[in-house]
């Protein structure tokens, strides 16, 4: 048995500049933090030649016996692509589960890819650095599966922590933010996550944004430039301990983000955000690509009780969280690639 987990993330600023269509021309920068909500994967051996995926989140089972290469279930494509990347043809049983619903803007797709890469790298005894795990996960998602996603989720999950991540055409740099313990604790106490009740297909939103970026649409490029500048300002505010200033920058960045695609916000999200600001939030944003998922808010602790009441009245539910600093990990490994032990091709 092999058990791995990888953390989900919240992105504060710079989202969209991690898309290759943008950073290949201008360079990108994202401020993000991994949180103590995880995607888990458990790998065990099968005693037939079938590769099987059991998804707790989707309450479904997919396997290579019933889903052939030309008609693979969507839920099988990512783990199958990771297995193919490692050139394996084994009899595996993969169980996956997430602590949050999929499609809610916390980077679940990239986190799943990171977790699977880490698991299969361990199984095949091919040690990888955190950077290699992130790059391999990105390669599988984008180069093999054609996902219109950026690079921030893979790096945030693989490395863990609160980071400034810079994207250039030929490299990615991960710089942990220099926060005092007091600043970090106050930031953690001042951030709130509320589930809007809606999951969404991020790929459709990201494809619209990627296509607009590639075609150099003026309003999108200008908004991304502004978002990157605000990410720099967020880093400076956090490292100087100006957390209220950071909260106001979240608000400013959210206004620019809504210009990147037509479906990033909704009437329900706008209503909830307006109510949050009326109750004392200094700023916030929808996590991930937008369209649903979690609403991230910066709110002074003394205003939070009223905030909870107001947003719960609108149907939102809070999810408590804390920062985490370990990144992707293998928690247990008792496997062997010895074919006589049920692993690998017989």
Domain with 160 in it: what CATH number?
A: 3.30.230.10
Would you give the distance in Å from CA 112 to the centre of its chain? Answer: 9
- Banded model confidence at residue 336, pLDDT cuts 50, 70, 90: low
Q: Kindly tell me if the per-residue pLDDT of 106 is higher than 50.
A: yes
Q: What range does the domain containing 233 cover?
A: 181-318
What is residue 60's predicted lDDT score, i.e. its pLDDT? 82
Would you give the distance in Å from CA 205 to the centre of its chain? Answer: 15
Q: Does one domain contain both 11 and 156?
A: yes
- pLDDT over 90 for what percent of the chain? 66
Q: Does one domain contain both 187 and 275?
A: yes
Please report whether residue 190 resides in a domain: yes
What contacts 206, CB < 8 A, 6 or more positions away? 19, 148, 149, 150, 289
Q: Does one domain contain both 11 and 130?
A: yes
Please report whether residue 6 resides in a domain: yes
What is residue 29's predicted lDDT score, i.e. its pLDDT? 98
**Cβ proximity of 88 and 124 under 8 Å:** yes
Task: Tell me the per-residue pLDDT of 6-64, one tens digit each, with 9 for 90 and over.
Answer: 999 999 999 999 999 899 999 999 999 999 999 999 999 887 778 888 988 877 888 87
Q: Kindly tell me if the per-residue pLDDT of 340 is higher than 80.
A: no
Number of domains in the chain: 2
Q: Kindly tell me if the per-residue pLDDT of 272 is higher than 60.
A: yes
Q: Does one domain contain both 151 and 9?
A: yes
Please report whether residue 346 resides in a domain: no
Beta strands in the chain (DSSP E): 2-13, 28-45, 52-55, 60-63, 92-98, 162-168, 171-176, 191-195, 283-286, 294-298, 317-318, 329-333
pLDDT, mean over the chain? 88
Q: Does one domain contain both 28 and 74?
A: yes
Task: Tell me the per-residue pLDDT of 208-245, one tens digit each, with 9 for 90 and over.
Answer: 555 555 555 678 889 899 999 999 999 999 999 999 99
Task: Tell me the per-residue pLDDT of 285-313, one tens digit each, with 9 for 90 and over.
Answer: 998 756 678 999 999 999 999 999 999 99
What is residue 30's predicted lDDT score, i.e. its pLDDT? 97
Please report whether residue 13 resides in a domain: yes
- Write down the catalytic residue from 84, 125, 153, 242: 153
Q: Which residue has the higher pLDDT, 45 or 326?
A: 326
Q: Which residue has the higher pLDDT, 212 or 249?
A: 249
Please report whether residue 109 resides in a domain: yes
Q: Does one domain contain both 152 and 294?
A: no
Q: Does one domain contain both 49 and 196?
A: no
Q: Does one domain contain both 41 and 164?
A: yes
Among this protein's residues, is 125 annotated catalytic?
no
Please report whether residue 99 resides in a domain: yes
Q: Does one domain contain both 122 and 75?
A: yes
Please report whether residue 263 resides in a domain: yes
Determine how many CB atoms are found less than 10 A away from the CB of residue 246: 27
Q: Does one domain contain both 209 and 173?
A: no
Q: Does one domain contain both 205 and 65?
A: no
Q: Kindly tell me if the per-residue pLDDT of 72 is higher than 80.
A: no
Helix (H/G/I), strand (E/B), else coil: 260: coil
Q: Does one domain contain both 61 and 76?
A: yes
Please report whether residue 159 resides in a domain: yes
How far is the C-alpha of 254 from the C-alpha of 197, rounded, in Å? 20
Task: Tell me the per-residue pLDDT of 157-193, one tens digit each, with 9 for 90 and over.
Answer: 999 999 999 999 999 999 999 999 999 999 999 999 9
Domain with 200 in it: what CATH number?
A: 3.30.70.890
């Amino acid at each position: 048995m092999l058990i791995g987990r990888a953390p989900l993330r919240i992105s504060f600023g710079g989202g969209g500049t991690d898309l290759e269509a943008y950073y290949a021309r201008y360079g990108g920068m994202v401020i993000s933090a991994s949180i103590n909500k995880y995607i888990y994967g458990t790998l065990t051996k099968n005693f037939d030649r079938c590769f099987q995926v059991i998804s707790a989140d989707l309450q479904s089972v997919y396997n290579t016996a019933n889903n052939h290469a030309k008609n693979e279930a969507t839920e099988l494509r990512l783990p199958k692509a990771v297995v193919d990347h490692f050139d394996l043809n084994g009899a595996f049983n993969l169980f996956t589960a997430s602590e949050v619903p999929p499609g809610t803007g916390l980077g679940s797709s990239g986190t799943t890819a990171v977790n699977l890469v880490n698991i299969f790298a361990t199984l095949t005894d091919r040690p990888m650095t955190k950077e290699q795990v992130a790059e391999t996960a990105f390669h599988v998602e984008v180069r093999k599966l054609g996902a219109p996603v950026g690079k921030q989720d893979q790096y945030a999950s693989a490395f863990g922590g609160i980071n400034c991540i810079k994207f250039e055409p030929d490299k990615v740099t991960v710089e942990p933010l220099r926060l005092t313990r007091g600043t970090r604790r106050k930031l953690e106490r001042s951030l709130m996550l509320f589930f809007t009740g809606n999951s969404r297909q991020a790929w459709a939103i990201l494809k619209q944004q990627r296509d607009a970026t590639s075609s150099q649409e003026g309003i999108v490029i200008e908004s991304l430039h502004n978002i990157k500048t605000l990410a720099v300002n967020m880093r400076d505010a956090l490292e100087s301990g100006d957390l209220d200033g950071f909260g106001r920058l979240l608000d400013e960045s959210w206004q620019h983000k809504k210009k990147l695609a037509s479906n990033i916000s909704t009437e329900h999200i706008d209503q909830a955000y307006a109510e949050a600001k009326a109750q004392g939030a200094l700023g916030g944003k929808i996590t991930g690509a937008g369209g649903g998922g979690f609403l991230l808010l910066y709110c002074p602790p003394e205003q939070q009780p009223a905030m909870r009441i107001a947003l719960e009245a609108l149907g939102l539910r809070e999810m408590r969280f804390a920062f985490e600093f370990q990144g992707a990990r293998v928690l247990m490994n008792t496997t062997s690639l010895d074919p006589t032990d049920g692993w690998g091709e017989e």
